[in-house]
Amino acid sequence: MATPPSPRLRQPGPVPVPHAPAPPDIVTLTHLRWDFVFQRPQHLLTRCARLHRVFVIEEPIPGDGPPRFEVTARQHGVQVVVPRLPAGLPADAAAALQSSLLPGFFRDHGISDYVLWYYTPMAIEFTRQLRARAIVYDCMDELAAFAGAPATMRQREQELLARTDVVFTGGQTLFESKRHSHPNVHAFPSSVDVDHFARARVIQAECPDQAHIAHPRLGFFGVVDERMDLELLRQVASARPDWQLVIIGPVVKIDPSLLPVAANIHYLGAKPYDELPSYLAGWDVALLPFARNDATRYISPTKTPEYLAAGKPVVSTSIRDVVHPYGVSGLVRIADDPAEFITAVDAALADNASERLRQVDAFLTQTSWDGTWTRMYRLVANAIDRNTMPAARPAAAPGVA
């Protein structure tokens, strides 16, 4: 009887490796236009978009046709979402309409696992029904103190704080104001892309619309609004007609006719973020001429470290988050009234640049947007992990209650 063939041994195949779950989407609610000024949200969320899908929902604008969310791609994969609603809607009707549009928007873009990231508490009015893996409140300003703030801003912030998992503040003073409002508050002062602004130290070519302006040039870039001390600018320009004041940035929320006008004040309008080092390269002193009022009490100007990275001496009014740490460490001169401000600018024009840059560069090694984002992201990941544990926040499909 023939011997049956021996069974062939099978070689083990590759062991299936389960796919890691996709990281949750980040749905951001903001009062700021993505294309307005490149600032804190853009620095953070473009870094976030290296790993996550990021949707930035702006405030609504009037639109023809049916109400809808218009979605367009920006740098690094960020998706900017603009609600287009009928003109003249009351605030409560606008919120209700946006709330009704969200399920379709989430469905169309496959958003079911997500983090909500708030910059404005007012967005809670149309997002209450959402069930996120985690809720983040990046409180970069005390919005209730700004001109034209909705009367319900503080009430909505309290509601948001009751829901949120982690709170970030844009500066130390704001942290001190919010630290007892939530058990998980962390100060993250705005940082700087040192390499970007350090280009100003070596750029030689003049920007065409600045080339004709004489020296010394005192410069400011940023939003021109109720936070700027217009009277200080007026008096400094009047007292020192040989100094040229260069103002870069959009004018918002104030009547442009209120801006001081003089032969030595030059308003150059808004400029792209990529061009700012070229303008800074042509300045002799950089200014932070902020008024001291409710709108500036809690600000932590991003431009402070940006000016320093550009290698410019800086003169500022006594904004608390500029005084500490920049003023007390001798990196920025602090002055408030016009006479003191002029004296400080004179000293800045005459200072020892090599010694100043040595101190500045030592300070700037401690901060970067990459480092700031890494530390913030760790806290967000911790919040996600806590909420993913058994008996944590219930899931809802698809992405809404």
SS (H, E, C) the chain: CCCCCCCCCCCCCCCCCCCCCCCCEEEEECCCCCCCCCCHHHHHHHHHCCCCCEEEECCCEECCCCCEEEEEECHHHCEEEEEEECCCCCHHHHHHHHHHHHHHHHHHCCCCCEEEEECCHHHHHHCCCECCCEEEEEECCCHHHCCCCCCCHHHHHHHHHHHCCEEEECCHHHHHHHCCCCCCEEECCCCCCHHHHHHHHCCCCCCCCCCCCCCCEEEEECCECCCECHHHHHHHHHHCCCCEEEEECCECCCCHHHCCCCCCEEEEECCCHHHHHHHHHCCCEEEECECCCHHHCCCCCCHHHHHHHCCCCEEECCCHHHHHHHHCCCCCEECCCHHHHHHHHHHHHCCCHHHHHHHHHHHHCCCCHHHHHHHHHHHHHHHHHHHHCCCCCCCCCCCEC
- Most confident listed range (6-15, 281-290, 392-401): 281-290
- pLDDT tens digits for 327-374? 999 999 999 999 999 999 999 999 999 999 999 999 999 999 999 999
Q: Under a CB-based contact definition with an 8 Å cutoff, are residues 68 and 84 in contact?
A: yes
Helices 230-239 and 338-349: crossing angle in degrees, nearest 10, is 60
In angstroms, the CA 312 to CA 330 distance is: 13
Answer yes or no: is pLDDT of 271 > 80. yes
Q: How confident is the model at residue 389 (pLDDT cuts 50, 70, 90)?
A: low
Cis peptide before 325 (omega within 30 of 0): yes
In order of start, what are the domains of the chain with their CATH numbers? 25-191+371-388 (3.40.50.2000), 194-364 (3.40.50.2000)
- pLDDT tens digits for 137-155? 999 999 999 988 999 999 9
How does strand 79-85 pair with strand 68-73?
antiparallel
In angstroms, the CA 172 to CA 317 distance is: 17
Three-state SS string across 280-303, please?
HHCCCEEEECECCCHHHCCCCCCH
Q: What is the token pair recorded at 219? A: 């410069």
> Averaged over 226-247, what is the pLDDT?
97
For position 388, what pLDDT does the model report? 82
Q: What's the pTM?
A: 0.89
Angle, alpha carbons 211-217-219 (nearest 5°):
100
> Averaged over 230-240, what is the pLDDT?
98
Exposed, middle or buried, 1 (CB in 10 Å: 0-12/13-18/19+)?
exposed
Give 293's Cβ-side CA count (13 Å radius). Answer: 14
Answer yes or no: is pLDDT of 92 > 70. yes
- pLDDT tens digits for 97-106? 999 999 999 9
Residues 6+ apart with CB under 8 A from 63: 70, 84, 85, 86
Q: Under a CB-based contact definition with an 8 Å cutoff, are residues 228 and 289 in contact?
A: yes
For position 190, what pLDDT does the model report? 85
